[in-house]
Amino acid sequence: DIVMTQSQKFMSTSVGDRVSITCKASQNVRSAVVWYQQKPGQSPKALIYLASNRHTGVPDRFTGSGSGTDFTLTISNVQSEDLADYFCLQHWNYPYTFGGGTKLEMK
């Protein structure tokens, strides 16, 4: 199975900051990576697909980059509503696998 590693379990930020959340795949997954945001009691919301494409309606402060094994989700000008859990998903190979998640918290 492909392991998706999000090494930062928690990240602290302030409104207006720029933060980067990383995800490393144990094998080459090309660009088959999705980034999700999840708030308490809600289902995950897709932000970025195919590593770098923003889903419809996602603010442009969310940017995805990377290919192969290293991926990054960058949030510029963090807003209070961005405090949430963020997960990466690889859908290149079965079984699809998720990163362990990064919780974005306020300093």
- Distance from C-alpha of 30 to C-alpha of 102, rounded to nearest angstrom: 22
Of the candidates 49, 62, 71, 86, which one interacts with another protein according to CB under 8 A? 49
Give the contact letters, 71-90, x = binds to another protein (CB under 8 A), - = no: ----------------x-x-
Question: Is 13 buried (19+), middle (13-18) or exposed (0-12) by CB count in 10 A?
Answer: middle
Which among 97, 79, 105, 87 is positioned nearest to 21, based on CA atoms?
87
Choice between 76 and 92, CB closer to another protein: 92
Residues that bind another protein (CB under 8 A): 32-34, 43-46, 49-50, 53, 55, 87, 89, 91, 94-101
